[in-house]
Amino acid sequence: MRRPLSVVEPLRIGSLELSLPLVLAPMAGYTDSTFRTICLERGCGLVFTELVSSEGIVRDNTRTLNYLSTQPGERPIAAHIYGSDPEVMARAARRVEMLGRFDLIDINAGCPVPKIVRKGSGVALMRDPYRLREIVHAVVSAVSLPVTVKTRSGISPDNANISQVARAIEEGGASAIFLHARLASSVHSGPADLDVLCRVKAEVSIPVIGNGGITNAQNALFMLKETGVDGIMVGRAAIGNPWVFAEIAAELTHNKYHPPGARDWVNAMTRHLRGLYTAMSHENNQRKRPRPYPERAACNRFRGHLTKYLRHAGCPARARRALLEQEEVEPLLRLVRKALQSPHFDEHRKQ
């Protein structure tokens, strides 16, 4: 069902209501707590943890539980868990709910990473919709939080069974489907299949949130209009550009979008890197044998974000190279301020 762009309704997922239907996708190595908070402050309506092992949760594995760490006020947020055993998934979900930090629990049925798939988890669950329904039902029965599923349009061109999978998810009692409209075999390449989103939206009665290929407000509004999905999930386009949510939110609410200036970029990068360093230092202190260079590890982890931040901010390529070589937090941030607040930077952005 297509709808006019002027109509933007709250996104209701079970008992949870989002005033704007904008969601940050879970991305391993990227959606850390500080980044999630930055996105929420810029118009994102819901964020996800990184992928968390249900086995690690029930075994009380410290490293796994660190993925469930959040900051005060980091709401609403979904715990994004994976596994293939209904009983273990249910126990993990109960443990997550008891933490009191989360607003919903999401089951991953779309990750194509081989080490996940080999365990029968992630997108491997699409091979057996009945098994997936069992897992959803077990988790729904174990918790009072809304339960959702993130999946894909299929595994490969000859195994694109999203219609059966979507029905199994709904029959299991899930409150919504987050649908990455690409095949697992395509990973992140190629356009999102809007026809798949439109079809699945017509086939199930629970909300469907579209994911794939959203890079700006124009893409987001086009997907909403052409498919009738209930919301938009943004992934890689948010890396280094949390203002993508502010841009989309401005279009949805018919407000003027104010692009970030140099100071905004500096403040976001400063907050993000310092927050990441604090979290990684805490995790390092939990190790039986702490690593000697947590600052270097934080800078290395931040590098993927930094590359995108600097490119979106308009930092010249020659300046970006020097910044990416830094391995200390404060010296790196001093160079960021110097690069982005210089007159040459402003002149470069105007060209």
Q: What is the pLDDT of residue 99?
A: 97
Report, as an integer, the average pLDDT of 40-47. Answer: 97
Q: What is the pLDDT of residue 7?
A: 58
Counting Cβ atoms within 10 Å, is residue 194 exposed (0-12), middle (13-18) or buried (19+)? middle
Report whether pLDDT(345) > 70: no
Q: What is the dihedral of CA 281, 309, 26, 71, to 10 degrees?
A: 40
Report whether pLDDT(349) > 70: no
Q: What is the dihedral of CA 291, 295, 300, 302, to 10 degrees?
A: 130
Angle at 213 between CA 212 and CA 215, to 5 degrees: 125
Confidence of residue 319 (pLDDT cuts 50, 70, 90): confident
Query: What is the b/e burial string over 320-344, where b = at least 16 CB atoms within 10 angstroms of the residue's CB?
Result: beebeebeebeebbeebbebbeeee
Report whether pLDDT(193) > 50: yes
Nearest to 187 by CA among 75, 281, 84, 111: 111
Report whether pLDDT(351) > 50: no
Helix segments in the chain, DSSP class H: 33-41, 54-58, 62-66, 86-98, 114-117, 129-142, 162-171, 194-203, 217-227, 243-252, 262-286, 294-313, 317-324, 329-340, 343-350
Q: Is the dihedral of CA 240, 242, 245, 247 positive or negative?
A: negative
Counting Cβ atoms within 10 Å, is residue 80 exposed (0-12), middle (13-18) or buried (19+)? buried
Q: Which domains does the chain have, with CATH numbers?
A: 11-252 (3.20.20.70), 262-350 (no CATH)
Percentage of the chain surpassing pLDDT 90? 81
pTM, whole model, 2 decimals?
0.92
Q: What is the pLDDT of residue 203?
A: 97
How many alpha carbons fall within 13 Å on the CB side of residue 68? 29
Q: Which two tokens stand for residue 264?
A: 């905004």
Q: How far apart are CA 275 and CA 281, in angstroms?
A: 10
Which of these ranges, 5-19, 308-322, 337-351, has the smallest mean pLDDT? Answer: 337-351
Q: What is the pLDDT of residue 169?
A: 98
DSSP-derived secondary structure letter, 299: H
Q: What is the pLDDT of residue 8?
A: 74
Query: What is the rounded average pLDDT for all residues in the chain?
Result: 92
Q: What is the pLDDT of residue 342?
A: 62
Residues 147-172 pLDDT 10s: 999 999 999 888 889 999 999 999 99
Q: Which residues are catalytic?
A: 111
Q: Which amino acid is at 104?
A: L
Report whether pLDDT(292) > 80: no
Report whether pLDDT(291) > 90: no
Report, as an integer, the average pLDDT of 284-293. Answer: 80
Measuring CA to CA, how many Å separate 190 from each of 183, 185, 213, 300?
10, 11, 8, 29
Q: If you search the block for the tokens 């947020």, which residue do you land on?
A: 77
Which positions ≥6 away from 221 have C-beta within 8 Å?
5, 248, 251, 252
Residues 247-278 pLDDT 10s: 999 999 999 999 999 999 999 999 999 999 99
Nearest to 213 by CA among 57, 15, 8, 25: 25
Confidence of residue 37 (pLDDT cuts 50, 70, 90): very high
Report whether pLDDT(184) > 70: yes
